[in-house]
Amino acid sequence: MTGEWEELTLCDLGRGVTGKTPLTAVEGNFGGQIPFVTPSDMNGKKTYSSTSRNLTETGAASIKGSKIPAGSVLVSCIGSDMGKAVIAGRDCVTTSRSIRSL
């Protein structure tokens, strides 16, 4: 098996994204159909099945560049939830600074 594996860095595999949180004070950012993944939604399953909060199209558009495609790997990276991982079951957005995706 020696020599059969190609050595890559994470950046070679895809674009790393740090999530953002839309302003909670703006009415209409939350309550839609776009999953908003937080560390508490990462409950030990391979993929997330639901999220406690969802964004509207307006909420997601307010943090453009933060949409995560289905199949991406999400890893929590701050606090007591550090190291949790899940695969995005569908397109989603993640919370600010506490989750990174690839």
Taking only the tens place, the pLDDT of each residue in 36-66 is 998 888 888 899 878 999 999 999 999 887 8
Cα of first residue to Cα of last residue in the chain, in angstroms, is 27
Nearest Cα to Cα of residue 99 among 80, 74, 81: 74
Q: What is the DSSP letter of 81?
A: G
The answer to pTM > 0.85 is no
